[in-house]
Amino acid sequence: MENSNKHSHWVVPSTHLSSLIHGDLTPANILLDANFVSKLSDFGICHLLPHDQSSRNTALGAFAYMDPEFLSTGKLTLKSDVYSFGIILLQLLTGRPAIRITKDVLYALDAGKLKELLDPLAGDWPIKQAEQ
């Protein structure tokens, strides 16, 4: 362990880099402190993987947040958590539940009606950035 700037850090040799896959990223597992700094919780089914690899997983997180690739192959990758976080962002934009949210957003984008899908209670979203 190396100590710098009054914070402890684990030093991992660069030849042994690993990635942590949460595997159950949902709004309930993202906590905010008093300063709105986010912290992840519930690492019960997480996996530590060697760089650029995947893991077979039989433990399941919340279905609505699961990566479709994981559902078809059973392999968790770093992209699995990115997909789950994307679903959470879509929920923030729309105020809708996670189930079917991707289909609703794709339909709205195709029909040119994304602005109607955005939740006005979530703030004034710049439509161009929301479409991206």
- Active-site positions read 24
3-state secondary structure of 25: coil
Nearest alpha carbon to residue 85 among 70, 110, 66: 66
Q: Determine the angle formed by the axes of helices 78-94 and 101-110, rounding to 10 degrees.
A: 70
Q: How many CB atoms lie within 10 A of CB 110?
A: 9
